[in-house]
Structure 1
């Protein structure tokens, strides 16, 4: 997989990015607002990055109407079946492009796609994807139990939700930091060349 990232193109990244964000937009503008409305204004489990308590879960499942259960089960979760994979692929392609961008700007090979640091960063979208799928499975189980949901199911789902959010946030934070550091390094390198050239001609 890592070797394949060396040949990633901007078109590939855009394809996964546009596909994932289109699904995300549909969820944000269609299925999620419908479920929230049917749950008396309570947010769905998927979009609570800081997690949720057992009390909140029972309250949500109690308030959720029959129509809300149907939308969550037959619209939201099927859409969220495709989103994690596409979002993960978009993240992996982004990092592959970022590594090449960094090399082009700085001319350094300290940060490579095969380095230990890169492997750790690349594991984050994969962790987020796996946790997203496990979260969806447990949400489906919670919807099946409704207000009689066991505590263990809620706690496990909450753990996967938080882990998914943390892995996603950390990945994009690191990507932004790498981008900024690459730009700063390029600016310093350019200024140094101009300073040397000015000293030589001076």
Structure 2
């Protein structure tokens, strides 16, 4: 926790956090607007593995990869995966620092609330393992194994759970910040 605290304290200047947040979300919007739809045009409406928060099984992966065809599987490897190898580190750092920024504003940076900032890092690590698993599956197709799919699926689900928990916690943090800001403004107005 001490290392995380040191990392956050060194990097939570408002402009730095905002720039990283904007870059992270620009990459995310790029994937949502271009690379994911560009790959899904080959999938006959099936969701890509990255977009399956509750997971998938061997049958789904085989059906998806068959539906994608050679061109679609190549698009997955060369169009979707590259930005998705950049996004997790941006997500992990950006949202960890954003958490630290608001915790500092709430004067709770050096408390157990700091662990909220670990969730996007867990999500980022799980996303990388998921991506590597997808790359291996795409390269091995049609010779997929239940173990490989199950292993990759576990990290897809971990990514989804940690991301969901983080955003729930972030909403709570933002609400606390909003309440504190409104209370402070009312106090200042009453003093005048």
TM-score by length of 1: 0.83
Aligned match for 1:85, one of 76, 89, 98:
89
CA drift at 1:166: 1.0
- Are residue 155 (structure 1) and residue 158 (structure 2) matched? no
CA drift at 1:4: 3.2
Aligned match for 2:58, one of 46, 54, 58:
54
Larger Rg: 1
CA drift at 1:69: 1.4
- Are residue 179 (structure 1) and residue 165 (structure 2) matched? no
**CA–CA separation in structure 2 for the residues paired with 1:27 and 1:184:** 34
In structure 2, the residue matched to 1:75 is 79
**CA–CA separation in structure 2 for the residues paired with 1:54 and 1:70:** 19
TM-score by length of 2: 0.87
In structure 2, the CA distance between the partners of 1:186 and 1:79, relative to structure 1 (3 Å rule), is closer
CA drift at 1:56: 0.9
**CA–CA separation in structure 2 for the residues paired with 1:156 and 1:100:** 38
In structure 2, the CA distance between the partners of 1:194 and 1:30, relative to structure 1 (3 Å rule), is closer
1:1-202 equivalence runs, <5 A: 1-7=4-10, 8-103=12-107, 111=108, 113-118=109-114, 120-185=115-180, 187=182
**CA–CA separation in structure 2 for the residues paired with 1:93 and 1:146:** 39
Aligned Cα RMSD in Å? Answer: 2.2
Gaps of 5+ in 2: none
Count of aligned residue pairs for this structure pair: 188
